[in-house]
Each structure stands twice: as structure tokens, then as C-alpha cells.
Amino acid sequence: GQNIDQPTEMTATEGAIVQINCTYQTSGFNGLFWYQQHAGEAPTFLSYNVLDGLEEKGRFSSFLSRSKGYSYLLLKELQMKDSASYLCAVRDSNYQLIWGAGTKLIIKP
């Protein structure tokens, strides 16, 4: 079966750095996505990785290792507004998105 695993919840301190991990087992691979979802709101696109390595976009970076079936989202200089759920998704060989359950990130002052 297809599976996306990510931690249920993480806590971090304002101004710090946090790494949210995602491991996947899917039928084929056509890209990995990270979305941010604030409570009660719609998911919004953060990043896309299809090749191994690090993609940096401001305070957020996303890393992919296809051989390990592993990705992480790195958030630097955490702000209170970063409190949200972070969803990992993989596009499989049929170009369907398989979604993880999300990681709820709690930022403390």
C-alpha cells in the first residue's frame, strides 16, 4: 500500500529552527509537496521537490532524498504565525497525490 508518515505534533520556540520529517512509500514518484494549513483554513502550497537536494525559499527549505523515501521541511527564525499544520504529499505514478495526516506545529514564545 501507499503510505506517508510524518509526526503528529511538534513544539518549537519562537526564533528557533524546526525540522519536520516525512517518509513515504508510494507506487512510483513524481514529486513531493509541502503545504501549510492554519487551523480552520485551506491548505496553501509551500514547496515542491522532484530531484534530490535542498530547495530554499526564504525562511523555509525543503529537502528530498528519493533513495531513502525521505523529505524534511526546515523552518528558520520561527514566528508565531508559523503555528499551523504542515502537510506532506507525494504524487505517485498515476499522478495522484497521496497525503500525509499532517504535522501540527506549535510555536511557543
Partner 1 sequence: TAGITQAPTSQILAAGRSMTLRCTQDMRHNAMYWYRQDLGLGLRLIHYSNTAGTTGKGEVPDGYSVSRANTDDFPLTLASAVPSQTSVYFCASSETTGANVLTFGAGSRLTVL
Check residue 23 for interaction with partner 1 (CB under 8 A): no
Check residue 27 for interaction with partner 1 (CB under 8 A): no
Spell out, one character per residue from 55 to 94, where the chain touches partner 1: x when CB under 8 A holds, - when not: --------------------------------x-x-----
Nearer to partner 1, 12 or 102 (CB): 102
List CB contacts of 22: < 8 A, sequence separation 6 or more. Answer: 4, 5, 6, 32, 34, 70, 71, 72, 73, 88, 100
Single out the residue of 39, 58, 67, 95 in contact with partner 1 (rule: CB under 8 A): 95
Q: How far apart are CA 24 and CA 14, in angstroms?
A: 29
Q: How far apart are CA 75 and CA 90, in angstroms?
A: 20
Residue 2: closest CA among 109, 94, 104: 94
Smallest distance from partner 1 to CB 95, Å: 6
Binding site for partner 1 (CB under 8 A): 4, 8, 30-31, 33, 35, 40-45, 48, 87, 89, 95-102
